[in-house]
């Protein structure tokens, strides 16, 4: 046999996809990315798309027939979509799981203060960020405020900065002229979490004897627009996210830049492939999109929540099937991004094993760190099953890992699904500058992820 027949070669897959289909899919994704900058926004967007694709909100106890399309929202921050298959749930489900949250700057519960004629919000960053990347870029404010009005809870949506005519917010940086001390520090010490304060205004309120006139003027603005008093910050979820849109990158437009590719470049194709199924699949197909992955998957909207189990128990009960029996026969693609090999940072990468841009949907057998800790490590059998599904459907795929052994590491939701006795493997799109306010992926990999999910649902 020849080298070509015997060797595994990671190569760009440009010859394996229609360039027009790749470009068209990227356009839809860009539009989604610009609207879905927080998990709440993403759930709203997904719900609207699902309803347009014939999905209905699931009611407990409702009868389920093959071909039925249902969804369930978890507290506005997660969503499960399902298409009921021809076979019984006792045969298991084809499950995809991805996350909708992304690293960002959260506003603290008591954020507003005035200092030297300027008003700021105190913050607490969310997820693994490099703090130096967040000052001196335009930010939007997104989220909700739940106010208590006459004993009734009222939810108000907040979005400032998305419209081109809107003002933006910013974290200020130190000028280089005065930064000689800062520049000598280690990168992790150059910016402190307590220093990531958001500049929100400077115009004072009129009136004598006002102690904090700028803070008062900002509070009045918030009161007029959202009916807020300062105490309402306690029942708010407000976040600052980058105020720039997704765009093509490269003179040849082969890349796509934007905020929150991790993990929307997996959740979007996982969901759109399910919504796009034109015939009833053999197995029931489920797409699970969760929150809180970036902070460890805890809480009612994270992957460790029983919300998913309760939903599965409900639909299994409709068919008289035990959920444990369903899980045992299910397969899951834990869809999360992986590191793309970057020749600019070659010393932390492992050239043979790291994912590469344009080489397709990346299968990651295990994540974790320090001797494969904190990972589910997919079985050889499952890896082979998934490879075969992709090969049969002509999906360009590759293997990926996260850099050199002992260089660092990370995890995904895979282990929480595998712990439920579901055969699970990580699969995703390779990302450059992961967790930066502006991340980069290849359009071809995004498209191959979509084709991969589609083939997996149909298997």
| Positions that interact with Mn ion (CB under 5 A) | 262-263, 336
Tell me, letter by letter, the H, E, C secondary structure of the chain.
CCHHHHCCCCCCCHHHCCHHHHHHHHHHHHHHHHHCCCHHHHHHHHHHHHHHCCCEECCCCCCCCCCCEEEEEECCCEEEEEECCCCCHHHCEEEEEEECCCCEEEEEEEEEEEECCEEEEEEEEECCCCHHHCCCCCEEEEEEEEEEECCEEEEEEEEECCCCCCCCEEECCCCHHHCHHHHHCCHHHHCCHHHCCEEEECCCCCCCCCCCHHHHHHHHHHHHHHCCCHHHHHHEEEEEEECCCCEEECCCCCEEEECCHHHHHHHHHHHHHHHCCCCCCCCEEEEEEECCHHHCCCCCCCCCCCHHHHHHHHHHHHCCCCHHHHHHCCEEEEECCEEECCHHHHHHCCCCCCECCCCCEEEECCCEECCCECCCCCCHHHHHHHHHHHHHHCCCEEECCCCCCCCCCECCCHHHHHCCCCEEEEEECEEECCCCCCEEEEHHHHHHHHHHHHHHHHC
Residue 263 or 423: the one with the smaller Cβ distance to Mn ion is 263
User: Min. distance of Cβ 296 from Mn ion in angstroms?
Assistant: 11
Residue 140 or 336: the one with the smaller Cβ distance to Mn ion is 336
User: Min. distance of Cβ 154 from Mn ion in angstroms?
Assistant: 33
Residue 263 or 354: the one with the smaller Cβ distance to Mn ion is 263
User: Min. distance of Cβ 334 from Mn ion in angstroms?
Assistant: 10
User: Min. distance of Cβ 130 from Mn ion in angstroms?
Assistant: 13
Phi/psi region, residue 447 (left: phi>0; alpha: psi -120 to 50; beta: rest), is: alpha
Number of CB atoms found within 10 A of residue 186's CB: 6
User: Min. distance of Cβ 183 from Mn ion in angstroms?
Assistant: 28
Residue 101 or 232: the one with the smaller Cβ distance to Mn ion is 101
Residue 232 or 336: the one with the smaller Cβ distance to Mn ion is 336
User: Min. distance of Cβ 103 from Mn ion in angstroms?
Assistant: 7
Residue 337 or 395: the one with the smaller Cβ distance to Mn ion is 337
Residue 89 or 413: the one with the smaller Cβ distance to Mn ion is 413
Pair of tokens at residue 354: 């790291």
Determine the distance from the C-alpha atom of residue 66 to the mean position of all C-alpha atoms in its chain, rounded to a whole number.
Answer: 30
User: Min. distance of Cβ 402 from Mn ion in angstroms?
Assistant: 11
Residue 143 or 260: the one with the smaller Cβ distance to Mn ion is 260
User: Min. distance of Cβ 337 from Mn ion in angstroms?
Assistant: 5
Residue 68 or 336: the one with the smaller Cβ distance to Mn ion is 336
Residue 262 or 342: the one with the smaller Cβ distance to Mn ion is 262
User: Min. distance of Cβ 263 from Mn ion in angstroms?
Assistant: 4
Q: How many residues does the chain have?
A: 459
């Amino acid at each position: 046999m020849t080298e070509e027949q015997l060797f595994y070669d990671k190569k760009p897959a440009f010859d394996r996809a229609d360039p027009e289909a790749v470009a068209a899919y990227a356009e839809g994704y860009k539009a989604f990315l610009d609207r879905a900058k927080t998990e709440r926004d993403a759930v709203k967007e997904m719900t609207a798309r699902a309803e347009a694709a014939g999905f209905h909100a699931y009611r407990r106890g409702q009868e389920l027939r093959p071909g039925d399309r249902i969804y369930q929202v978890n507290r506005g921050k997660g969503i499960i979509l399902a298409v009921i298959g021809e076979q019984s749930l006792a045969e298991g489900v084809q499950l995809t799981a991805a996350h909708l949250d992304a690293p960002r700057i959260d506003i603290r519960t008591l954020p507003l203060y005035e200092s030297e004629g300027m008003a700021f919000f105190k913050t607490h960053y969310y997820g693994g960020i490099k703090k130096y990347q967040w000052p001196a870029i335009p930010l939007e404010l997104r989220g909700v405020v739940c106010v208590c009005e006459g004993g009734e809870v009222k939810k108000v949506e907040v979005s400032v900065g998305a419209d081109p005519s809107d003002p933006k917010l910013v974290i200020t940086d130190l000028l280089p002229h005065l930064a000689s001390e800062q520049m000598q520090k280690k990168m992790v010490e150059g910016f402190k979490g307590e220093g990531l304060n958001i500049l929100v205004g400077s115009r004072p309120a009129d009136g004598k004897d006002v102690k904090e006139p700028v803070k008062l003027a900002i509070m009045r603005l918030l009161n007029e627009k959202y009916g807020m008093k300062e105490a309402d910050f306690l029942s708010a979820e407000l976040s600052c996210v980058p105020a720039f849109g997704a765009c093509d990158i490269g003179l040849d437009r082969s890349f796509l830049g934007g905020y929150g590719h991790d993990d929307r470049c997996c959740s979007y194709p996982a969901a759109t492939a399910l919504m796009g199924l034109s015939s009833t699949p053999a197995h029931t197909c489920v797409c699970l999109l969760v929150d809180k992955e970036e902070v460890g998957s805890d809480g009612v909207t994270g992957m460790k929540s029983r919300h998913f189990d309760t939903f599965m128990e409900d639909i299994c009960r409709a068919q008289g099937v035990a959920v444990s029996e369903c899980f045992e026969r299910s397969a899951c693609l834990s869809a999360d991004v992986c590191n793309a090999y970057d020749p600019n940072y070659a010393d932390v990468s492992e050239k043979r094993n790291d994912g590469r841009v344009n080489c397709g949907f990346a299968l990651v057998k295990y994540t974790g760190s320090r001797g494969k800790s904190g990972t589910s490590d997919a079985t050889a059998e499952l890896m082979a099953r998934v490879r075969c599904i992709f090969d049969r459907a002509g999906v360009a795929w590759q293997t990926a890992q996260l850099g050199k052994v002992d260089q660092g590491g990370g995890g995904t939701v895979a282990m929480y699904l595998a712990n439920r006795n579901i055969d699970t493997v990580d699969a995703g799109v390779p990302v450059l500058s992961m967790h930066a306010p502006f991340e980069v992926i290849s359009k071809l990999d995004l498209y191959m992820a979509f084709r991969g999910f589609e083939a997996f649902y149909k298997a």
